Structure 1
Amino acid sequence: MPDLPKVKLSRLREIGWSQWDPIGLSQMGDDDWKDGGPCADEYDSYLLGVVGRLRRGEPTSDAVAYLEEIEIDHMGGGRNPTTLGRAEATVAAIADYLATLPAGPLKVR
């Protein structure tokens, strides 16, 4: 069986922390939220949720709505003037990253 293309979790984290960061953890300090820090994996499941939606061919608007729902309802942050723009930027950056990977099943590393 050939090796499946790998989604680099570190790249997803770079995107999530620089584009989205709905609860502002990046303000804590560099060592806390960068890879290896105690908060590094805080958004992993949500970012992987976006990957799954995009790889299944769902519209980017659905992935954006997913991130908005996570921030507004699940995290209880409510909607603010930057909510939509950050979600859109995050989904666009993840889509751009995924476009560099071969089509087909992926695994995370």
Structure 2
Amino acid sequence: MSSSILDLSKLRDIGWSMWDPIGLIPDGCTWRDDDAAGFEDEYDSYLQNAAAQLRQGAPAAEVVNYLVKVETVLMSISQRPDTMLRARAVVQAILAEA
């Protein structure tokens, strides 16, 4: 991964469209819509941490595991069939944008 830092709005685009573990945004909406007003920054620290880990050379699998842990341990959400898939998609999208 290059040393460039992803723009926060790009990280939000990735996180909200591919991850949104709490399910805060209704289908068909984005974090930029009025329906997301007030919680658009809900995942910022996790996404910024994931991007920083990748930028510092952490293996993609380690960052995927970090996002899964955030969802299942820190947020106390039971692991779902798509938990790992969504975390992988986020990591791949961050890598693709860097």
Tell me if both proteins adopt one fold, taking TM over 0.5 as the criterion: yes
State the number of aligned residues: 92
- The structural deviation recorded for 1:7 is 2.6
1:26 aligns with 2:25: yes
Cα offsets for 1:15-67 (capped at 9, x unmatched): 0000000000012863132xxx2111000000001111101101000000000
Q: For the residues of structure 1 that align with 2:4 and 2:91, how far apart are their CA atoms?
A: 20
Cα offsets for 1:84-105 (capped at 9, x unmatched): 000000110011111xxxxxxx
- Larger Cα-atom Rg: 1
- The structural deviation recorded for 1:6 is 5.0
- The structural deviation recorded for 1:5 is 4.9
RMSD: 1.8
1:72–1:78 CA contact under 8 A, matched in 2: yes
Q: Which TM-score applies when normalising by structure 2?
A: 0.86
> What SS does the aligned partner of 1:25 have?
coil
| Structure 1 residues 54-93: aligned runs within 5 Å | 54-93=54-93
1:54–1:95 CA contact under 8 A, matched in 2: yes
Going from structure 1 to structure 2, the CA distance change for 1:6 and 1:80 (only over 3 Å counts) comes to: closer
**What's the % identity of the aligned pairs?**
45
